[in-house]
Amino acid sequence: MQQDELWIGTMLEGNARWVLVKSTDTAEEARRRHGMSPVATAALGRLMTGALILASSLKGDESITLRLLGDGPLQGVVAVGNAQGQVRGYVREPLVDLPLKASGKLDVGAAVGRGELSVSRSLQNGEVYTGMVPLVSGEIAEDLVHYLLNSEQIPSALLLGVLVEKDYHVAGAGGFLIQLLPGASEEVIQTIENLLGQLETGISELVAQSETMDQLLSRLMGQLSYHVLERRPIGFTCTCSKERLSGTLVSLGKKEIADLISDEKAEMVCHFCNEHYHFDVDELQEIWERA
């Protein structure tokens, strides 16, 4: 399919809004950068897709950070999305390998474990609001629905999926959110439940099988009426730079920096994108002077 996109629209005569994301290339980029196992790719791909969906209602340079703080072998998954459709993220243990579930699916719930989901919104005025809920299953979509209902009182249905091939490549990744708008009738709720109940194929398989976003959307909606309001490009983008990481070195203090100078080099790695930055003696000297 074409490049990754996020679409926003309404359905059922304006009684519900939806957000659809195709994030195949975004998840593949994360997999490649972090060298992740299939279950780690699925966990991070789902969380990054969820971050893009939740960030789609933000403005300007606002961003949202999702953190899965679980006791499973991944030891934590973090994704940051913003209103421009940029997302980045990492898992603490990228090589985790677990047996498949009886259904043949990757066992994301076991890899995440039990714990909490934290959602932080950074707003334009510089304020950060953080909400926490216990994890329901660690499967991520369910956990985000639980958060939206309990912390934001928005009844939502959410599908998130990442299809990983035997050779570890991402064949399809995406997400589909439906939210009821105020005043939605029991009939609308029933129609949406029926729609999602009828989807026999997972969202990741549907993304992999669809050639365009239009085709994907019409497969998801079936016979229901809908409108597309907005289409945005999305992708894996990190905000790191050598300049930014040199600031981190400055904050270590003169003594630590002097140790690095005596080692004659230093390397800094960005957690979010796994980019390696090298600093030579001259650069470290300049950082020492700034400290």
Give Cα separations from 275 to 110, 125, 178, 238, 278 (angstroms): 28, 30, 35, 9, 10
> Which residue carries 């894996």 as its tokens?
236
CA-to-CA distance for 19 and 202, rounded, in angstroms? Answer: 16
Phi/psi zone of residue 212: left (φ > 0), alpha (ψ -120 to 50 degrees), beta? beta
Supply the minimum distance, in Å, between the C-beta of residue 31 and Zn ion.
15
Give the binding range for Zn ion (CB under 5 A) out of 42-50, 59-67, 191-199, 270-278: 270-278
Q: Of the two residues 176 and 277, which places its CB atom closer to Zn ion in the complex?
A: 277
Supply the minimum distance, in Å, between the C-beta of residue 238 and Zn ion.
3
Supply the minimum distance, in Å, between the C-beta of residue 272 and Zn ion.
4
Q: Of the two residues 55 and 240, which places its CB atom closer to Zn ion in the complex?
A: 240
The reply on whether position 78 binds Zn ion by CB under 5 A is: no
CA-to-CA distance for 265 and 11, rounded, in angstroms? Answer: 57
Give the binding range for Zn ion (CB under 5 A) out of 1-9, 57-65, 185-193, 273-281: 273-281
CA-to-CA distance for 32 and 227, rounded, in angstroms? Answer: 35
The reply on whether position 273 binds Zn ion by CB under 5 A is: yes
Q: Of the two residues 21 and 240, which places its CB atom closer to Zn ion in the complex?
A: 240
Q: Which of 213, 270, 284, 287 binds Zn ion (CB under 5 A)?
A: 270
Q: Of the two residues 218 and 237, which places its CB atom closer to Zn ion in the complex?
A: 237
Supply the minimum distance, in Å, between the C-beta of residue 48 and Zn ion.
14
CA-to-CA distance for 160 and 72, rounded, in angstroms? Answer: 20
Q: Of the two residues 24 and 86, which places its CB atom closer to Zn ion in the complex?
A: 86
CA-to-CA distance for 56 and 23, rounded, in angstroms? Answer: 14
Q: Which of 236, 272, 277, 288 binds Zn ion (CB under 5 A)?
A: 272
Count, in order, helices (H) and strands (E) of the chain. 10, 13
Q: Which two tokens stand for residue 128?
A: 């950060």
129 Cβ contact list (under 8 Å, min separation 6): 120, 121, 123
The reply on whether position 79 binds Zn ion by CB under 5 A is: no
Supply the minimum distance, in Å, between the C-beta of residue 30 and Zn ion.
11
Residues within window 210-269 making contact with Zn ion, judged by CB under 5 A: 238, 240
Q: Which chain residues interact with Zn ion by CB under 5 A?
A: 238, 240, 270, 272-273, 275
